[in-house]
Amino acid sequence: MKKKSKIRKLFTAIAYAIIAIIFSIICLGIIFYASGYRFNPKSKRIEKTGMLLIDYKENGLKVFLDKKEITMQMSKTISLASSARYVANVLPGEYDMELKVDGKAAYDEHIVIRPELITQISNLVLLPESIKDEVIASDNFAVYKISPDNKKVAYQKKKGAFGIYDVDARKDSPLDSSVFSNSVEEFNWSQDSRKIILKYKVENIMNYYIYDVFDPSISFHLKDKFSNLPDFENVFFSPKNSNDLLGMLENKLYKINSGPLDKNIVEEGIDFIIQRSENIFYHETKNNVLVELDTAIYAKNILLENFKPAPDFDIFVLNGKNLYIKNEGNLYSIRDKNNLDMIDKEIDEVVISNNKDGLYYTHGYEILDLNSGKTVLRFSKVISNLKEFYKGLYFIYQSGNDLNIISKDGKSDRLIISSKNPFIEIEVLENNKILTILQNPQNTIEFGIIDLGLQQ
């Protein structure tokens, strides 16, 4: 009996030892698993995983690596941004990733997961499976101009009707022909998008109608309000105050008011004027200088001396103070009154970032970033109508009759829509929608809205 008792105790001890070993292995496995260790069948060893983190605000995201769906956890604990986060531990290696959401076109990217590191897909944009350019207006427009805030379009039809189209409200507001029935040669918006100047001729003399978009009842013909005015060659709003008007006549710039004309000369000998959001820039021919005019106090600041602008001259302002010019196809920064620093030669388009702190320009098939001095993107095709888009992380651009979206890191270049007719103009709206303008073979002009369903 004693022998049997000893055997039982031995088996019991062995059983407890086995259970303890199994428990320890399980705990160790749990600890390893929780620490991100996994068995990698490719390398046939236990390896530390990396983290795949996808920044996407909507629910329903499915993630496939090498065509196998993986489980993603929704997390908001990683405070790299306010967006919802999809997180998963993934074994190291290279993967063909595919992201899917019902009703959206799939997104593909080749990724590399490295041990103990985060592979992040930031600010993911998934396009709808079906994208339409919703036509909001189509007619025989003779002339049109989009407001600075991209919310309104002033137009005149070839039949003579003038009106304002509210893009946000999808509302057309035609002006009664008894109030204005002349043929407009040009529109000139105020910087605050509240008013617009209609430039028209009567018996070969230029006239101006000042139209208030928000209160049409206070609109007026310029000569009805200021009867002593000469026949200005051009009239425009002061950039800082839409109640102030400026006029050009015989290379002289005037403030327009009821006072004597000779008392209101701002500058003489001007051969061109460029308006920007805050100030006016002009070239004064007598002294051959480029001048910045602060229209709040009409103070002049000479930017460049002994400077002759070319026909393609343009000026760009960053951060409200840094000045860059395009001249003879080249891009320069203004160092001081006597010196320009060349940035690049033979550039095409220049794009200022939405918050006006960055400048991008195209050079052949490349997009370059002024801040870094590096090529951001390189294409195999001619591009045009380049615009910054969606939080400043993407560009939209035109290539032929195609409208495309590309991330600034170049990883995602996708077709938005292909049109039968070329786009004349493209503008980005505040709500991440796109305003398109194209011309049909029948010479009608179409205004359209493309909604990519992107949240703010």
Distance CA 122, CA 57 (A): 11
pLDDT of residue 79: 46
Phi-psi region of 231 (alpha: psi -120 to 50; beta: other; left: phi over 0): beta
The neighbouring-strand residues paired with 154 are 145, 164
- In this structure, the strands spanning 68-70 and 366-369 are unpaired
pLDDT reported for residue 383: 86
Residue 209 pLDDT level (bands cut at 50, 70, 90): very high
Least confident of 29-43, 96-110, 152-166: 29-43
The two beta strands, 234-238 and 220-221, are: unpaired
**Token pair recorded at residue 84:** 């919802």
Q: Given this model, what pLDDT does residue 82 score?
A: 46
Here the tokens at position 323 are 């000045």
Q: How far apart are CA 200 and CA 231, in angstroms?
A: 12
**pLDDT of 312:** 94
Kindly report, residue by residue over 115-139, the tens digit of the pLDDT.
888 888 887 888 888 888 888 888 8
Alpha-carbon Rg for the chain, nearest whole angstrom, is 32
Q: Which residue has the tokens 């109640």?
A: 243
Please say whether the structural domain 45-121 has been given the CATH code 3.30.70.1520: no
pLDDT of 249: 92
Domain boundaries, the chain: 2-35, 45-121, 310-378
Confidence class for position 374, pLDDT limits 50, 70, 90: confident
| Average of per-residue pLDDT across 229-249 | 91
For residue 152, list its beta bridge partners: 166
Structure confidence at residue 8 (pLDDT) = 65
CB 99 within 8 A of CB 126: yes
In this predicted structure, which of 156-160, 195-199, 286-290, 403-407 has the lowest mean pLDDT? 156-160
What pTM did the predictor assign? 0.79
The mean per-residue pLDDT over the stretch 209-225 comes to 92
307-346 burial string, b = 16+ CB within 10 Å, else e?
bebeeebebbbbeeeebbbbbeebbbbbeeeeebeebeee
Report whether pLDDT(194) > 90. yes
Give the H or E element holding residue 359.
strand 359-363
Checking if the pLDDT of 83 tops 70, the result is: no
Q: What single-letter DSSP state applies at residue 323?
A: E
Of 290, 257, 293, 296, residue with least CA distance to 275: 293
State the residue for tokens 């051959």. 288
Kindly state the average pLDDT of the residues 298-324.
Answer: 92
Q: What is the rounded distance in angstroms from the CA atom of residue 339 to the CA atom of residue 307?
A: 10
The whole-angstrom separation of Cα 383 and Cα 404 is: 10
Tell me how far apart the alpha carbons of residues 81 and 85 are, in angstroms, rounded to a whole number.
9
Distance CA 35, CA 49 (A): 9
SS3 content of the chain, % helix, strand, coil (to 5): 10, 50, 40
Phi, psi of 271 (to 5 degrees): -105, -10
| Spatial separation of the C-alpha atoms in residues 346 and 362, rounded to whole Å | 9
Q: Which of 14-23, 163-172, 260-269, 444-453 has the lowest mean pLDDT?
A: 14-23
Report how far apart the first and last C-alpha atoms of the chain are (Å, whole number): 82
Position 176 scores a pLDDT of: 81
Q: Mean pLDDT throughout 53-57?
A: 85
Whether the pLDDT of residue 190 is over 90: the answer is yes
For residue 450, give Cα distances in angstroms to 304, 386, 429, 435, 439.
Answer: 43, 16, 10, 7, 16
Distance CA 77, CA 18 (A): 40
pLDDT in tens, 91-119: 888 999 999 999 888 999 899 988 888 88
Predicted pLDDT at 80: 46
309 within 8 A of 272, measured Cβ to Cβ: yes
Q: What is the pLDDT of residue 304?
A: 95
Q: Where are the beta strands (DSSP E) in 295-356?
A: 299-305, 314-318, 322-327, 330-336, 339-344, 350-352
pLDDT of residue 440: 83
Residue 81 has a pLDDT of 47
Calpha distance 207→227 (Å, rounded) = 12
pLDDT tens for residues 137-154? 888 888 999 999 999 999
Taken in order 244, 226, 263, 250, the sign of the CA dihedral is: positive
